[in-house]
Amino acid sequence: MTLTTDPESARHALTTMWTIRRFEEAVDDMFARGLMHGTMHLSIGQEAVPTGACMALSEGDYITSTHRGHGHCIAKGAKLDAMMAELLAKETGYCRGRGGSMHIADVATGNLGANGIVAGGVPIAAGAGLAVRMRGGSEVVVSFFGDGAVNEGAWHEGVNLAAIWDLPVVFVCENNRYGMSMSVDRAFNVDTLAERAHGYGIPGVTVDGNDPQAVHDAVADAVQRARSGGGPSFVEALTYRWKGHSKSDKNLYRTREEIESWRERDPIAAFEAAVTGGGATAGAATAPALSASDVEECRTLARDRVREAIRTANAAPDADAATLTDAVYAPAGEPIAGGARA
Partner 1 sequence: MTTTSDTRPASGPVDSAAVEPRTLTYSEAVREAMAQAMAADDRVFLFGEDVGTYGGAFGVSGDLVHRFGTERVRDTPISELGIVGAAVGAGLAGMRPIVEIQFSDFTAQAMDQIANQAAKIHFMLGGAATVPMVLRAPGGSGTGAAAQHSQSLEAWFAHVPGLKVVMPSTAADAKGLLLSAIDDPNPVIVLEHKLLYKQSGPVPEEPVRVPLGETAVRRTGTDVTIVATGVMVSRALEAAERLAADGVSAGVLDPRTLRPLDDRTIVDSVAATGRALLVQEAPKTGGFMSEIAARIVESPAFGRLQAPVSRLCGLDAPIPYAPQLEQAAVPQVDDIVTKAGELVRRW
Binding-site ranges for partner 1 (CB under 8 A): 62, 64, 93-99, 103, 105-107, 112-113, 115-117, 120, 122-132, 134-135, 141, 153-154, 156-158, 160-161, 164, 326-342
Kindly write down the DSSP assignment for every residue of 284-297, as one continuous string. TTSPPSS-HHHHHH
Of 104 and 218, which CB lies nearer to partner 1 in the complex structure?
104
Q: How far apart are CA 281 and CA 266, in angstroms?
A: 15
Of 1 and 130, which CB lies nearer to partner 1 in the complex structure?
130
Of 89 and 238, which CB lies nearer to partner 1 in the complex structure?
89
Of 154 and 172, which CB lies nearer to partner 1 in the complex structure?
154
Of 93 and 288, which CB lies nearer to partner 1 in the complex structure?
93
Question: Distances in Å between the alpha carbon of 312 and those of 103, 154, 213?
Answer: 20, 38, 33
The C-alpha angle 81, 86, 91, rounded to 5 degrees, equals 95
Question: Distances in Å between the alpha carbon of 327 and those of 227, 288, 330?
Answer: 34, 51, 6
Strands 204-208, 182-183: pairing kind: unpaired
Identify whether the C-beta of residue 52 lies closer than 8 Å to the C-beta of residue 142: no
For the bound state, the minimum distance from the C-beta of residue 141 to partner 1, rounded and expressed in Å, comes to: 8
For the bound state, the minimum distance from the C-beta of residue 100 to partner 1, rounded and expressed in Å, comes to: 9
For the bound state, the minimum distance from the C-beta of residue 60 to partner 1, rounded and expressed in Å, comes to: 11
Of 317 and 339, which CB lies nearer to partner 1 in the complex structure?
339
For the bound state, the minimum distance from the C-beta of residue 295 to partner 1, rounded and expressed in Å, comes to: 36
For the bound state, the minimum distance from the C-beta of residue 85 to partner 1, rounded and expressed in Å, comes to: 11
Q: Which amino acid is at 49?
A: V
Question: Distances in Å between the alpha carbon of 67 and those of 22, 24, 111, 126, 179?
Answer: 18, 13, 14, 19, 12
Other CB atoms within 10 Å distance of the CB of residue 319: 19
Of 50 and 97, which CB lies nearer to partner 1 in the complex structure?
97
For the bound state, the minimum distance from the C-beta of residue 160 to partner 1, rounded and expressed in Å, comes to: 7
Strands of the sheet with 141-146, listed across from one edge? 62-64, 141-146, 169-175, 233-238, 204-208
Strands 178-179, 182-183: pairing kind: antiparallel
For the bound state, the minimum distance from the C-beta of residue 24 to partner 1, rounded and expressed in Å, comes to: 21
